[in-house]
Amino acid sequence: MKKVVRVAAGQGFWGDDLDAPRRQVEGGPIDYLMLDYLAEVTMSILQKQKERDSSLGYARDFVGAMESVLPAVAERGVKVVANAGGVNPRACAAAVKVMAGERGHRLKIGVVTGDDLLGRLDELIAAGHALANMDTGAPLSTVGGEVLSANAYIGSEPIVEALEKDASVVITGRSTDTALTMAPLRYEFGWGGSQWDQLAAGIIAGHIIECGAQCSGGNCLYDWRSIPDLANVGYPLVEGSPDGSFVVTKHPKSGGRVSVQTVTEQLVYEMGDPHSYITPDVVADFTTIRLTSAGDDRVLVSGIKGRPPTDKLKVSVAYRAGFKAVGTLVYAWPDALEKAQLADRVLHERLDRLGLSFDHIVSEYVGATATHGRLAGDQRNAPEVQLRFGVRGSDRAAVERFTREIAPLVLNGPPSVTGFAGGRPKVEEIVAYWPALIDKSVVKTKVDLIQ
């Protein structure tokens, strides 16, 4: 058994720095490259792509990422674990296989499926699985718009199985972000399914690095001016040990910083009840985490406790939920805020006169109160204020009509207005999310090897 296993994060979301995966395999020794591509919004985008072309539906950036790390994977044995498969993991694997083949390499690719429940929804609802909304309690049968995708968040077991079958690349669909890091540690150290403390530690390692550089100096408020070389920010890696403890660090000669403070900020990011971070594999307790500085850009994480998971998996359902558009205009000093407020009243009145009604309207004053509201204090002397006016509704034509009401205000509204060069606002279709739980027993994952 290895004494230390290095898992490096190379992608925190679909759209992250394309060069980060290559920097992670070239900047220093690593055993695994972990790439997280999936946010909730991503699954429905991928589902739409798959509907148009059945060979799509995965994060296509991944093929380029694999190309950039191919020498490390094929020649140095670095393994890759990624949830790039989206709603079509097999097609993703096929594309990687073709890319590698064209460059003279044969890769053993493990493909994890079984998370996609879209085709089974009617059957599941008929069998009594309400898929009630975790926030509102409403059963999925009452959802307003067309369902576009439905995926269960699956855990580490199928990834471990693929690694046991000697896959050098593992591609999953909607695997949890944290399992992508925990599974390689579990496989290498042979952690059993009830070694709760170690499994929880692996999950927390995953939580720390799943957002890429957000734990290594990116978006860090603590002493932000002093964080060096963000243009060359080092993405994080964990050096895991068999007992579950691990060190968070980054490659030498990279920018950013790994410190107790940068890691703590990431630990509290998107946190709910810290005693119960629920995953398919284990419930991790964030109140047991000990952080210790272990040298420059090194933080030791230890003491983590875990307990058995629940018998449910989280399911994310995406559905069509109407349309929205946001228009903006900028008003300049003097009385910038007051001018923007008058424009807001004029706009409301015009929409009323046109007989347009919306489910929801939000006006904000960027530069004054948009993010901190009344806490921002008196902003009457602001040098400039952007009126940001958003509408949402089920009638596309009404939202479309609204987008034509912004530009006229430049000539027929309050003075000192600018910032309209971007043209008419775009109408966006809203795909909303329905979080639900389902019995674990109905989700069967499958692992295939493609060579």
Partner 1 sequence: MKVRLVDIAHARSGDKGDTANVGVIALEPRWYSVLDEFVTRERVADHFRGMIEGDVERYDLPNLNALNFLLHGALDGGGTLSLKTDAQGKVYSTALLRMLIDVPDAEARRLELPAAK
Residue 157 near partner 1 by CB under 8 A? no
Choices 28-36, 154-162, 190-198, 265-273; region in contact with partner 1 by CB under 8 A: 265-273
User: Which three-class secondary structure state does DSSP give residue 437?
Assistant: strand
Measure the CA–CA gap between 167 and 109, rounded to whole angstroms. Answer: 5
Q: Which is nearer to partner 1, 138 or 442 (CB)?
A: 138
Measure the CA–CA gap between 438 and 307, rounded to whole angstroms. Answer: 20
Per-residue mark of binding to partner 1, 397-436 (x: CB under 8 A):
---------------------------------xxxx-x-
Measure the CA–CA gap between 185 and 301, rounded to whole angstroms. Answer: 15
Count residues near partner 1 (CB under 8 A).
Answer: 49
Smallest separation, CB 238 to partner 1 (Å): 18
Instruction: Choose which of 117, 364, 398, 409 interacts with partner 1 (CB under 8 A).
Output: 364
Structural contact between residues 279 and 203, judged by C-beta atoms closer than 8 angstroms: yes
With tokens 């008003």, the residue in question is 331
Residue 94 near partner 1 by CB under 8 A? no
With tokens 């150290």, the residue in question is 189
Q: Which H or E run includes 428?
A: strand 428-439
Angle, helices 196-209 vs 179-189, to 10°: value is 140
Residue 147 near partner 1 by CB under 8 A? no
Neighbours of 26 (CB within 10 A): 13
With tokens 């950036």, the residue in question is 61
Q: Which is nearer to partner 1, 235 or 365 (CB)?
A: 365
Choices 108-116, 187-195, 238-246, 362-370; region in contact with partner 1 by CB under 8 A: 362-370
Residue 221 near partner 1 by CB under 8 A? yes
Q: Give residue 165's identity as a one-letter amino acid code.
A: K
Phi first, then psi, for residue 2 (nearest 5°) are: -65, 150
Residue 391 near partner 1 by CB under 8 A? yes
With tokens 């069998």, the residue in question is 127
Residue 222 near partner 1 by CB under 8 A? yes
Instruction: Choose which of 125, 269, 440, 442 interacts with partner 1 (CB under 8 A).
Output: 269
Q: Which is nearer to partner 1, 49 or 133 (CB)?
A: 133
Sheet holding 277-278, edge to edge: 277-278, 283-285, 305-307
Strand-pair category, 32-35 with 277-278: unpaired
Smallest separation, CB 365 to partner 1 (Å): 10
Residue 266 near partner 1 by CB under 8 A? yes
Residue 143 near partner 1 by CB under 8 A? no
3-state secondary structure 92-135: HHHHHHHHHHHCCCCCCEEEEECCECHHHHHHHHHCCCCCCCCC
Closest CA to 340 of 404, 269, 388: 388
Instruction: Choose which of 143, 278, 366, 407 interacts with partner 1 (CB under 8 A).
Output: 366
Measure the CA–CA gap between 91 and 111, rounded to whole angstroms. Answer: 10
Q: Which is nearer to partner 1, 193 or 274 (CB)?
A: 274
Per-residue mark of binding to partner 1, 48-87 (x: CB under 8 A):
----------------------------------------
Smallest separation, CB 208 to partner 1 (Å): 12
Rg for the chain (alpha carbons), in Å?
A: 24
Longest dimension (CA), the chain: 74
Instruction: Choose which of 375, 411, 423, 451 interacts with partner 1 (CB under 8 A).
Output: 375
Residue 354 near partner 1 by CB under 8 A? no
Neighbours of 1 (CB within 10 A): 7
Q: Which is nearer to partner 1, 375 or 421 (CB)?
A: 375
Instruction: Choose which of 289, 299, 385, 399 interacts with partner 1 (CB under 8 A).
Output: 289
Smallest separation, CB 390 to partner 1 (Å): 3
Report the interface residues with partner 1, using CB under 8 A.
40-41, 135, 219, 221-222, 261, 264-275, 286-291, 303, 321, 324, 326, 360-362, 364, 366, 370-375, 388, 390-392, 430-433, 435
